[in-house]
Amino acid sequence: EELALHEQDDVPQGFQWLIGDDATNSVFAWLRWSKAGKPVLVVANFTPVPREAYRVGVPEAGTWHEIINSDAGVYSGSNYGNGGGVSTDPQPSHGQEVSLALNPPPLGVLILRAE
C-alpha cells in the first residue's frame, strides 16, 4: 500500500541513505521514494538500548506519522516509540534542512511518512 516501499525497488532513485555510519549507536536510517517523489523514512536500531531524541534529517518539514513501529503492542512489543508521530525541528541534519528527534525502539524498526 505504501508506494515508496516498493515502487522503485529496481532503480537508484528509490533509495537514499541518511545514516549508514553510526557505529556507536548501531542505528541506520534511509529514505525510500515513490515515483511521485513522496518519501518514507526507515530507522533501524540494532541494539537492545532504546534511543531517546535521536536526530534524523528529513526532506520535508511538518508532521511525520509512524506507519510501522516493530515495538508496538500489536506486535507484542513495549510500545516504545513516538506516540504515532513527531514534528520536524528547524535543525539541519544528515544533509537535510529539517530533522526529527525520534525514539527508535530497542532492536526495532520505525517507518514514518510525511503528512
Average pLDDT over residues 32-40: 98
Q: What is the CATH number of the domain that holds 64?
A: 2.60.40.1180
d(CA 71, CA 109): 8
Task: Kindly indicate the confidence band of residue 31, based on its pLDDT and cuts at 50, 70 and 90.
Answer: very high
Single-letter amino acid code for the residue at 66 = E
pLDDT number for residue 96: 97
Q: State the burial class of residue 112 (Cβ atoms within 10 Å of its Cβ: 0-12, 13-18, 19+).
A: buried
Range of the domain at 68: 3-114
- Domain count for the chain, please give it: 1
